[in-house]
């Protein structure tokens, strides 16, 4: 708290202390792109002294092409192709050189030094006679995007930020773009430091007010774009497919209608006149009530390609979401399976999408659950650029009231090899990059739960390099955020490292998903969605639980996977325990490969999960005095709620399955 009694904005992973090692050191920056200007301002703010390029500068940032001119002994062949965003770093006798090909590489190289430090000028580096070792850093994905589900004006049910758990929007206030966008500038800097390069600034559920960002508010959107531009980040807008009707009064939004096509082409031209580096459109169509091409008997390739044609002359992209399913299901109808929907809609269209269309696919076939199999749409689309969509905002993973570090889950998704171990991974197949739903708001800690900052950090780092280790990212984040106290850092590591599995252990078991309160999706409700139209069922009765998604006897969803997974998931003998109930309906006495029965597994994990949270609470208490007071207090409050909520989950889930099955806990623990 400051003297006015308000908590000042938290610096996330860039507190002043991070820059201490750079103060009074010398830097030479070669190049004059605006992004180099950003680097110069950063260096200046860090207290570095800019000097002309010479072998004496402790840090030199220069184009690869200039290495020879400046008589550097760095082997240009070892630097190789850096693309527009990559950089190479070489340490030479205690001096550091960052070589870039495109100016964005200079910015990312700068933040590499911020993270890793400059080292000691007198001692670092190899023997003077050796050519310095060159480390190359080139992003694995060229599109690293954040999607904000922010509404301009408050939505009566969803609030200002849909599924937002960190206060209001940082972009909008009182039904318009904020006058003061300085926080957006600070956000842009934080995002650049982790390599994010695209941001969609409004909700994919596009309300009437929000649709007008594309037209009446272009001047305002352009102000937001100006905050991001110095940090190498391009702005995208979520657009409503019905815009020609709702904004322009045309009688139709049919994608083959020429007047409709013309309207979109003109809209795109106006956007690019205002925002030269505009990224493109993000579209949720024919999904959960959003308008789309189905209304006109057209398919999603027709719809996406029409928008793509409008953007193509300007170099823009359409991110078209594959989250299309029937949300007006009848629970009595056992033939419809929501998990199948995206594949059934989109795989038949493979090959028909324009080059500047990216199909954005949620990581799982349902909806951001704590455990789902990886979506078969990603391997299913061979001729379409696909972007993997993750959810940083913790809609189904504790809503930023529970401490849940999601990077281990994302690592599992990214390294999943749908065609078997020797084939490409999900990361390899995501040729359209990675997108994720953002988790920040106008909260002083940005993310509500201060420890949820780790998820945003990890997202950026993984989108850049999906092979990074989740624990290593956690440690990197903790070191930047919490400084030198190794006890504090070690404690945070222990608290978060396995927290995703802890959360899984006390919520819905074995891949069954949902079991949350309808509407806000927080807290347990075993039958909350069981008889609802949303298509998210578990079919628990007195004999068993789970959804038969096999080809042999079920919905056939398992057949959407290529081998080997189709067979692995199809058979009870090979399905991984953690996904058992996603693919199979089994009796409670079914034995998992772990040896426990299903119902005993439910009891064990739920009792254990609560104890793990209790240990987290004690661990956090022990860090009192080692962590910023306001941060400590906020996390303490959240952990208390997490313990309450985990206990509620334990008791509701255990009691439900005890009542349903009549099978007692082998260990005789208390079940209500």
Annotation marks residue 395 as catalytic: yes
Least Å distance, CB 313 to ligand GCW, is 29
544 bridge partner residues: 587
Query: Does residue 231 bind ligand GCW (CB under 6 A)?
Result: no
Least Å distance, CB 204 to ligand GCW, is 5
Closest to ligand GCW by CB, 205 or 507: 205
Least Å distance, CB 158 to ligand GCW, is 7
Least Å distance, CB 162 to ligand GCW, is 5
Residue from 44, 130, 288, 624 carrying the catalytic annotation: 288
**Looking at beta carbons, which residue is closest to ligand GCW?**
367
Q: Do 220 and 176 touch, CB atoms closer than 8 A?
A: yes
Calpha distance 485→359 (Å, rounded)? 44
Closest to ligand GCW by CB, 368 or 464: 368
Closest to ligand GCW by CB, 204 or 275: 204
Nearest 5°: the CA angle 454, 459, 463 is: 150
Binding residue for ligand GCW, selected from 284, 585, 606, 632, defined by CB under 6 A: 284
Least Å distance, CB 156 to ligand GCW, is 14
Binding residue for ligand GCW, selected from 92, 217, 254, 367, defined by CB under 6 A: 367
Rounded to whole angstroms, what are the CA distances from 575 to 338, 442, 549? Answer: 20, 43, 12
Cα 77 to its chain centre, rounded Å, is 35
Residue from 147, 254, 286, 367 carrying the catalytic annotation: 367
Query: Does residue 319 bind ligand GCW (CB under 6 A)?
Result: no
Closest to ligand GCW by CB, 42 or 162: 162
Residue from 395, 476, 504, 570 carrying the catalytic annotation: 395
Closest to ligand GCW by CB, 149 or 363: 149
Cα 394 to its chain centre, rounded Å, is 10
Calpha distance 569→587 (Å, rounded)? 17
Least Å distance, CB 275 to ligand GCW, is 24
Helix (H) or strand (E) holding 197: none
Burial 194-208 (b: 16+ CB within 10 A, else e): bbbbbbbbbbbbbbe
With the C-alpha atoms ordered 268, 273, 279, 283, is the resulting torsion angle positive or negative?
Answer: negative
Closest to ligand GCW by CB, 92 or 162: 162
Strand ranges (E), 556-672 = 586-587
Rounded to whole angstroms, what are the CA distances from 121 to 21, 58, 92, 239, 664? Answer: 11, 7, 9, 52, 67
Q: How many other C-beta atoms lie within 10 A of the C-beta of residue 44?
A: 12
Site for ligand GCW in 616-645 (CB under 6 A): none
Non-local (6+) Cβ contacts of 363 within 8 A are 372, 374, 375, 388, 389, 390, 413, 426
Strand ranges (E), 66-142 = 87-92, 95-100, 134-137
Q: How many other C-beta atoms lie within 10 A of the C-beta of residue 341?
A: 22
Least Å distance, CB 364 to ligand GCW, is 11
Closest to ligand GCW by CB, 204 or 598: 204
Binding residue for ligand GCW, selected from 368, 477, 582, 607, defined by CB under 6 A: 368
DSSP 8-state class, residue 499: H
Binding residue for ligand GCW, selected from 85, 162, 217, 286, defined by CB under 6 A: 162
Q: Do 494 and 605 touch, CB atoms closer than 8 A?
A: no
Closest to ligand GCW by CB, 367 or 604: 367
| Binding string, residues 46-75; x marks residues near ligand GCW by CB under 6 A | ------------------------------
Query: Does residue 147 bind ligand GCW (CB under 6 A)?
Result: no
Calpha distance 328→534 (Å, rounded)? 6
Query: Does residue 204 bind ligand GCW (CB under 6 A)?
Result: yes
Query: Under rule CB under 6 A, how many of the chain's residues touch ligand GCW?
Result: 10
Q: Do 381 and 352 touch, CB atoms closer than 8 A?
A: no
**Angle separating helix axes 470-482 and 407-415, nearest 10 degrees:** 150
Site for ligand GCW in 564-583 (CB under 6 A): none
Annotation marks residue 428 as catalytic: no
Both structure tokens of 320: 């078209």
Least Å distance, CB 203 to ligand GCW, is 6
Binding residue for ligand GCW, selected from 10, 25, 163, 638, defined by CB under 6 A: 163
Binding residue for ligand GCW, selected from 160, 205, 222, 409, defined by CB under 6 A: 205
Helix (H) or strand (E) holding 267: helix 258-274
Calpha distance 58→36 (Å, rounded)? 17
Closest to ligand GCW by CB, 149 or 482: 149
| Binding string, residues 381-420; x marks residues near ligand GCW by CB under 6 A | --------------x-------------------------
Q: How many other C-beta atoms lie within 10 A of the C-beta of residue 112?
A: 17
Binding residue for ligand GCW, selected from 108, 165, 278, 323, defined by CB under 6 A: 323
Which is nearest to 101 in space by CA: 116, 83, 119? Answer: 83
Annotation marks residue 288 as catalytic: yes
Backbone phi, psi, residue 90, to 5°: -130, 135
Closest to ligand GCW by CB, 204 or 247: 204
Least Å distance, CB 508 to ligand GCW, is 15
Site for ligand GCW in 428-457 (CB under 6 A): none
Least Å distance, CB 172 to ligand GCW, is 16
Calpha distance 163→391 (Å, rounded)? 10
Query: Does residue 502 bind ligand GCW (CB under 6 A)?
Result: no
DSSP 8-state class, residue 592: P
Q: Do 188 and 267 touch, CB atoms closer than 8 A?
A: no
Closest to ligand GCW by CB, 138 or 366: 366
Least Å distance, CB 131 to ligand GCW, is 50
Least Å distance, CB 164 to ligand GCW, is 10
Least Å distance, CB 315 to ligand GCW, is 26
Both structure tokens of 297: 């008997």
| DSSP-derived 3-state class of residue 64 | helix
**Angle separating helix axes 470-482 and 486-496, nearest 10 degrees:** 140
Closest to ligand GCW by CB, 520 or 543: 520
Closest to ligand GCW by CB, 184 or 204: 204
Query: Does residue 353 bind ligand GCW (CB under 6 A)?
Result: no
Non-local (6+) Cβ contacts of 67 within 8 A are 74, 76, 79, 97, 99
Query: Does residue 149 bind ligand GCW (CB under 6 A)?
Result: yes
Query: Does residue 338 bind ligand GCW (CB under 6 A)?
Result: no
Both structure tokens of 66: 């200039």
CA dihedral 47, 53, 56, 58 (to 10 degrees): 40
Q: Kindly list the residues in this chain that would bind ligand GCW in the complex (CB under 6 A).
A: 149, 162-163, 204-205, 284, 323, 367-368, 395
Residues recognised as catalytic: 288, 367, 395
């Amino acid at each position: 708290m400051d003297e006015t009694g308000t908590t000042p904005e938290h610096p996330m992973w860039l507190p002043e202390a991070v820059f201490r090692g750079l103060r009074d050191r010398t830097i030479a920056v070669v190049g004059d792109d605006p992004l180099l200007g950003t680097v110069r301002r950063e260096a200046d703010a860090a207290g570095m002294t800019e000097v002309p390029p010479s072998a004496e500068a402790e840090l030199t940032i220069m184009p690869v092409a200039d290495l020879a001119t400046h008589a550097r002994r760095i082997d240009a062949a070892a630097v190789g192709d850096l693309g527009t965003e990559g950089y190479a770093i070489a340490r030479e006798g205690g001096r550091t050189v960052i070589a870039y090909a495109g100016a964005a590489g200079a910015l990312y190289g700068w933040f590499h030094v911020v993270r890793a430090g400059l080292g000691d000028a007198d001692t670092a580096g190899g023997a003077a006679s050796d050519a310095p070792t060159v480390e190359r850093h080139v992003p694995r994905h060229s599109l690293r995007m954040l999607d904000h589900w922010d509404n301009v004006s408050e939505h009566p049910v969803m609030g200002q930020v849909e599924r937002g758990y960190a206060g209001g929007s940082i972009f909008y206030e009182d039904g318009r773009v904020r006058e003061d966008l300085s926080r957006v500038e600070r956000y842009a800097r934080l995002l650049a430091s982790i390599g994010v390069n695209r941001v969609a600034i409004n909700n994919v559920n596009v309300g009437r007010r929000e649709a007008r960002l594309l037209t009446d508010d272009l001047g305002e959107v352009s102000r937001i774009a100006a905050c991001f531009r110095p940090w190498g980040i391009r702005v995208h807008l979520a657009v409503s497919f019905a815009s020609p009707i709702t904004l322009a009064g045309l009688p139709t939004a049919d994608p083959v209608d020429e007047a409709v096509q013309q309207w979109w082409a003109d809209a795109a031209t106006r956007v690019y006149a205002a925002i030269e580096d505009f990224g493109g459109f993000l579209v949720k169509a024919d999904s959960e009530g959003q308008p789309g091409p189905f209304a006109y008997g057209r398919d999603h390739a027709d719809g996406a390609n029409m928008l793509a044609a409008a953007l193509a002359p300007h170099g823009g992209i359409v991110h078209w979401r594959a989250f299309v399913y029937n949300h007006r299901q009848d629970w009595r109808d056992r033939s419809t399976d929501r998990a199948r929907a995206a594949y059934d809609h989109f795989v038949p269209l493979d090959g028909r999408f324009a080059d500047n269309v990216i199909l954005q696919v949620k990581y799982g076939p349902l909806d951001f659950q704590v455990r789902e199999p990886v979506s078969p749409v990603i391997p299913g689309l061979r001729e379409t650029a696909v972007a993997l969509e993750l959810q940083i905002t913790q809609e189904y993973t504790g809503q930023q009231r529970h401490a849940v570090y999601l990077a281990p889950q994302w690592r599992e998704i990214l390294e999943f090899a749908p065609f078997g171990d020797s084939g490409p991974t999900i990361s390899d197949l995501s040729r359209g990059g990675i997108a994720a739903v953002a988790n920040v708001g106008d909260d002083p800690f940005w993310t509500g739960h201060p420890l949820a900052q780790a998820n945003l950090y990890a997202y950026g780092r993984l989108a850049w390099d999906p092979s990074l280790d989740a624990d290593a990212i956690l440690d990197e984040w903790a070191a930047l955020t919490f400084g030198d106290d190794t006890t504090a850092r070690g404690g945070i590591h222990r608290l978060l490292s396995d927290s995703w599995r802890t959360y899984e252990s006390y919520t819905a078991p074995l891949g069954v998903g949902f079991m949350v309160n309808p509407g806000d999706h927080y807290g347990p409700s075993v039958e909350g969605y069981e008889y609802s139209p949303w298509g998210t069922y578990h079919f628990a009765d007195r004999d068993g639980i789970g959804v038969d998604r096999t080809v042999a006897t079920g919905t056939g969803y398992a057949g959407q996977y290529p081998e080997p997974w189709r067979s692995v998931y199809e058979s009870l003998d090979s399905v991984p325990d953690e996904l058992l109930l996603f693919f199979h309906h089994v009796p409670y006495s079914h034995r998992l490969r772990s040896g426990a029965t299903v119902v005993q597994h439910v009891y064990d994990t739920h009792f254990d999960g609560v104890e793990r949270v209790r240990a987290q609470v004690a661990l956090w208490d022990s860090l009192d005095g080692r962590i910023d007071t306001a941060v400590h207090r906020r996390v303490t409050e959240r952990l208390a709620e997490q313990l309450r909520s985990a206990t509620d989950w334990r008791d509701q889930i255990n009691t439900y399955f005890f009542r349903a099955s009549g099978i007692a806990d082998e260990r005789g623990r208390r079940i209500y």
